Amino acid sequence: MNVAGLIFSNIHDQSIPELTRIRTMASIPFGCRYRLIDFPLSNMVNSDITTVGIITHNNYQSLMDHIGTGKDWDLARRSGGIKLLPPYVAAYENTVAGRLYSSRLEALIGAENFVHRCQADYLVLSDCDVILNIDLRQVIEEHIRSGAFLTVVTKQLGSVAHGFDSPVDVVRVGEDGDIEEITRVRSQRGACEVSTNVMVVRRSDLLAIISESLSHGYTSFSGDVIGRNLGRQRIRAYRYTGWYAHIDSLPSYFACSMELLTPEARAGLFQIADRQIYTKIRNSPPTKYAEDAVVKNSLVADGCMIEGQVENSILFRGVRIGRGSVVRNCILLQDTFVGSDVQLGCVITDKNVVIKDGRTLSGHESMPFFIGKGLMV
Amino acid sequence: MIKKKECVAMLLAGGQGSRLYALTQKTAKPSVSFGGKYRIIDFTLSNCINSGLDTVGVLTQYQPLLLNDYIGNGLPWDLDRTFGGVKILPPYQGKDGADWYRGTANAIWQNMNFIDRYGAEYVLVLSGDHIYKMDYAEMLAYHKQRGADCTIAVIEVPLEEASRFGIMSTREDGTIYRFTEKPKQPDSTKASMGIYIFNRDKLERYLRADSQDPASSNDFGKNVIPAMLAGGETMLAYPFHGYWKDVGTIDSLWEANMDLLGEHPALVLSDESWRIYSRHESAPPQFVGKDAAVSNCSVTAGCELYGSVRNSVLGSNVRVMPGAVVEDSVLMSDVTVESGASVRYSILDSGVTVGAGATVGEARGTASGIAVVGANYRIPVGETVAAGAMIYG
């Protein structure tokens, strides 16, 4: 079975502007050493998908830097491998002429060439705002067996009230496993089933979707493609039961990151046999804990130097915590430098932030204090 | 157009490292783990690429499987090149018969064709069992500038330890007039680091003569260097200042690991301008539990620490369970220390499991020696491994 992957790197950029001001959703750092794209990319690689197109929109420099040739995902191939698909802006009729795409469907139209040439029988589509560790081979098998037009991976959420910081597609699934209704909501009472936007479709069907959308001027994938086809074509739900996180705002980024401190999250994301998460190798030395270091309930990347106290925090590569400093409930991105006698609580620092000696900074879980890239406080 | 490389590095990696015993049962010394995420050979390979040398022949013989696999196509060191790069050179069958490498000199002699394939004028001979950071380009510049036939890197050692090394006696201008292997009464404190630069033609001449001498043990230190001195060649000592450690014994391997710790470590790996590269598997970040106590340690990705860990160097994916104690020890990758177990003044090779409540080694102050446990060994629940013991399965 020949399957190709297609990753949308920018689609949810606007939901977390603090971190996407200088990068794509795909290249948001997450979990000490990863970028969000590492999860869909690793899922594809672990499911024997070795041809992957990455649709970009803007701000994709950091993404290109991260992906490189794709060798860290074993995707530096002569045949297939990773292809970055920058926006295709041209003055032809019937294309998104003269402007960048603004929806998933328009992005797909721009990637038509890749879909046309990739020689796969099926395609897996994925976004970067949802974090899963999923065996896509099972989804593909299930899709083929059911003979469905489209299979959407869904996740059932518990019976609490859900407020989504960005709109989410809630699906109603019939007893036969087919999706009967799809609604875009901002909040939901009680248990619900949401689309993860991971989808499997036959390549010829995707090409048909693209050309039909072009001729009708459709722009919305969930509305125009899924919505219009409900009842006409079989659109199936594949229920994913593993660990799931959906990042749609800075507070949810904070909450999802902190969830990694639970053994369930680490087991469900990082410790599944044969399904490890790959990322760019940085060759950092091991992390050093000084004589007076006190570290509790924290996730720490390589290349750090800890001389102070760290609790319930996530430290990315190359972070330094000075003597006498206390860091609680913080997410410190790559190469953050914390001087001596600093107090930090519920702070998110972007890369290369410097916190000078003696500073005290604090936010709240519902409103973490964010410090932009390269700033000095 | 025929391309050329000015200098080719030949890395001797065939040594068994018999004094490391339990750690070299299934692998050659250069591929023994060091410093959490490295192997000994990473230092020489990284030195090569950081010095701008991109053609390295690695001579293997003893238990090469792991080393071959580890070096692979050389990608982690940027040594995957279309011309040059890193090449594994095992003993082979030639026109005149097949033979094992009979000594360090013989290993190079059997691979003169590799050197000539790159048209190299200079040959840098290295051994893969030392921990140090050195710019070979500076040494080569020194060699060329002084017009030497052979340059040997030397390091100052304390006089009382000089009898453990090959000692160079030098004149004012740095030329060597005498070389004595492990002298009883050393008259110099300049120890050979086992790093040589030869002019290719001179090297060939002396290796040819050496190969025709049935009495020779085909060794650089014992035969070739003395022969070149006797032949009146220009032999230079190149003084090196910096960290250098031969990790050929259990004690020195332990010490070199400990040199990474402390406020002002003797060996610094975080220097961005001289990175040490290694091949490592993708492991998740390290996790330190809420009741853990970790101090003065070097910890690698994938570790999960719930117990107490002090003055230790931990490789990737090490697990220290609640109530377990690890002190003054080197734990290589994938070691698990179960609840209530204690590990003191020990070296545990990769994949070792210390069963719940077991005791390995003794506190450093009172122990008679370092306890060593070989790869994948399982220490049963409640068992005791005495200080200084060496066990493997």
Q: What is the DSSP string of B363-375?
A: -TTT-SS-EEE-T
Calculate the CA dihedral of residues A112, A115, A116, A119 and round it to 10 degrees: 170
B227 CA: distance to closest CA in chain A (Å): 43
8 A C-beta contact, residue A12 and residue A248: yes
Chain B partners within 8 Å of A279 (Cβ): 282
Report yes or no: A3 and A119 within 8 Å, Cβ to Cβ: no
Q: B-chain residues within 8 Å CB-CB of A290?
A: 263, 295-296
Pairwise CA distance, residues A259 & B188, whole Å: 62
Measured between CA atoms, the residue of chain B closest to residue A266 is: B284
Report the residue from B75, B287, B291 with minimal CB separation from A266.
B287
Intervals of chain A under pLDDT 50: 91, 93-94, 96-98
Q: What is the DSSP letter of A181?
A: E
Angle of helix A136-146 relative to helix A38-46, nearest 10 degrees, comes to 70
A293 touching chain B per CB within 8 A: yes
For position A294, what pLDDT does the model report?
97
What does the block give as tokens for A261?
Answer: 């401190």
Contacts of A33 in chain B (CB under 8 A): 284-285, 301
Residues of chain B that touch chain A, judged by Cβ-Cβ distance less than 8 Å: 35-37, 75-76, 260-261, 263, 269-270, 275-278, 280-301, 313-314
CA distance B302 to A99: 45
Q: Calculate the alpha carbon distances from B324 to B159, B298, B309 in Å.
A: 42, 17, 8
In this complex, how many residue pairs, one in chain A and one in chain B, have their CB atoms less than 8 Å apart? 105
CB-CB under 8 Å, A278 with B282: yes
Q: Are B60 and B41 in contact (CB under 8 A)?
A: no
Q: Is B208 helix (H, G, I), strand (E, B) or coil?
A: helix
| Pair of tokens at residue B181 | 């292997």
| Record: contact A270-B276, CB cut-off 8 A | no
Say yes or no for a CB contact (<8 Å) between A291 and B282.
Answer: no
| Per-residue pLDDT, A102 | 67
CB A248 within 8 A of CB A131: no
Q: How far is B306 from chain A (nearest CA, A)?
A: 9
**A282 in B contact zone (CB under 8 Å):** no
pLDDT of residue B144: 97
Q: What is the DSSP letter of B238?
A: E
What's the CA gap between B233 and B175, in Å, rounded?
Answer: 10
* Cα distance between residue A365 and residue B25, in whole Å: 53
- The alpha carbon of residue B388 is apart from the nearest alpha carbon of chain A, in Å, by 26
- B289 vs A contacts (CB less than 8 Å): 296-297
* pLDDT, position B28: 87
End-to-end CA distance of chain B: 54
For residue A148, give the 3-state DSSP assignment: coil
Q: Mean pLDDT, 10 residues at a time, over chain B (393 residues)? A: 85 84 88 95 97 95 87 93 92 77 92 94 94 97 97 94 91 94 91 96 96 92 94 96 93 96 93 92 93 97 97 98 98 97 97 97 94 96 96 89
In sequence order, the 6+-apart residues with CB closer than 8 A to the CB of A344 are A325, A326, A327, A328, A330, A338, A355, A360, A361, A362
Q: Quick check: B326 and B337 in contact, CB under 8 A?
A: yes
Q: Does A279 touch chain B (CB under 8 A)?
A: yes
Q: Is A32 on the interface with B (CB under 8 A)?
A: yes
- B17 with B129: CB under 8 angstroms? yes
8 A C-beta contact, residue B349 and residue B371: no
pLDDT score of A98: 47
User: Which string of DSSP letters, residue by residue, matches A66-100?
Assistant: HHTTSGGGT---SSSEEEEE-------TTS-TTS-
> Which residues in A lie closer than 8 A to residue B332 (C-beta atoms)?
none
Distance CA A85, CA A9 (A): 10
Q: Which of residues 306-365 of A touch B (CB under 8 A)?
A: 314
The runs of H, that is alpha helices, within chain A are 17-20, 38-46, 61-67, 104-110, 112-117, 136-146, 203-216, 228-229, 250-259, 263-269
Q: For tokens 């598997």, what's the residue? A: B281
End-to-end CA distance of chain A: 54
How far is the C-alpha of B380 from the C-alpha of A29, rounded, in Å?
42
Using CB atoms, pick whichever of B286, B290, B298 lies closest to residue A300: B286
User: Which residue bears the tokens 């206390």?
Assistant: A326
Find the closest chain A residue to B277 by CA distance: A283
List phi, psi (to 5°) of B115.
-60, -40
Helix (H) or strand (E) holding A171: strand A162-173
ipTM score above 0.85: yes
- Mutation test of the interface with chain B: which of A243, A287, A296, choosing the one with the most B Cβ atoms within 10 A? A287
CA distance A249 to A14: 9
Residue of B nearest to A280 (CA): B282
Q: Which residues of B touch A270 (CB under 8 A)?
A: 284
Contact B186, B205 (CB under 8 A): no
Name the closest residue on chain B to residue A278, using Cα atoms: B282
Whole-structure pTM value: 0.92
Residue with tokens 């007893």: A175
* Interface contact B300-A297, CB threshold 8 A: no
B72: number of Cβ within 10 Å? 13
CB < 8 Å to A261, chain B: 287
Instruction: Using CB atoms, pick whichever of A266, A286, A305 lies closest to residue B300.
Output: A286
Nearest CA in chain B to A310: B288
Contact B346, B371 (CB under 8 A): yes
Alpha carbon distances (Å) from A327 to A368, A373, B165, B337: 14, 19, 49, 29
Closest Cβ–Cβ partner in A33, A289, A303 for B296: A289
